[in-house]
Amino acid sequence: MDTRVLGRDLTVSAVGLGCMGFSHGYGMPTEERETVRLLRQAVNLGYTFFDTAEVYGTSQEPHVNERLVGEALAPHRSSVKIATKFGLRFDFESGKVPLPLIPDSRPETVRRAVEGSLRRLKTDHIDLYFQHRIDPKVAPEEVAGVMADLIREGKITHWGISEANEDYLRRAHAVCPVTAVQNRYSMMARRYESLFPTLEELGVGFVAFSPMANGFLTGKYGKGAQFDRQTDYRATMPQFTDEAIDQNRALLKLLADMAEAKSATPAQISLAWILRKKPWIVPIPGTRNVERMAENAGAADVPLTAAEVQALDDALDGMEMSAVFGGSVVGKA
């Protein structure tokens, strides 16, 4: 797979693998040995960028995803880049789905978190350490100062911010240069395009999570789709309702038509559209299926031209869409 550079010097595969779904949020967790096998298969397919977090797990083992990523990638550690995250915990006691998020980026919390992540990931350094969500009680300068310390100590080599806004990014970057932001981005959730000029100015990369709107843009879900309300976040996501299927018919047709023209799949078109937006954007779709891993990796080879990307943008700008979990179209809150 081709590579891309995040920030000044972090080279990763053009498409990364979001690892959350193996353990959290998309139904019952994958069996542990199978998770390890699938992650190693991803390496064989050319993935060199793996994204996890200390909170991707279950109420029984809240940190299991990091542990399995560490085990799977240990034999390949010198050839892969691992991103993980700090500063967030899920409220497992709430009984709500999705689980409520509780931010905590106090320096003492971050210090404990990095040691736990290093241990579970079986590594002496983290390649990209993301603040999982902004903590309104801790100034960005204070968080960035801790990151600068961790870089000096060799515990991390790069850092980033997930769900960053411009003001927070600028203030943090002034203290310790940010390598990447990781924000939700897809054809259905485009509000962070307004951040792109700032990223370009500062030399900060963009890691796009949920690049297929939690799988909706694969075109594989129709009316009557059923999800486990206790373990699968899609059960409460608005884009998967029967009404949304009707509202998004034009969007799904746009993807299907372009896929046919390019001898590709709708999933590949949705990823190729992201990849052609900027050379410093890396999508991190998640999947627990080897065939889908190969399909997603192949998106990097889909030849979308700048004119075709613009035509897709123009169509999206004028198109009715349903609400989408965690995001919005351009110009809407």
Instruction: Tell me the catalytic residues.
Output: 56
3-state SS, residue 6:
strand
Query: Contact, 37 vs 5, CB < 8 A?
Result: no
3-state percent breakdown (helix, strand, coil) of the chain, nearest 5? 45, 15, 40
Question: 278 Cβ partners below 8 Å, 6+ apart?
Answer: 196, 199, 200, 206
Half-sphere exposure of 230 (CA within 13 A, CB side): 5
3-state SS, residue 208:
strand
Token pair for residue 184?
């939700």
DSSP assignment of 16-33 equals -EE-GGGTSSBSSPPPHH
d(CA 162, CA 18): 14
Query: Contact, 185 vs 280, CB < 8 A?
Result: no
Question: 50 Cβ partners below 8 Å, 6+ apart?
Answer: 16, 17, 19, 39, 42, 69, 73, 80, 81, 82, 83
Largest CA distance in the chain: 54
d(CA 228, CA 149): 43
Cis peptide before 303 (omega within 30 of 0): no
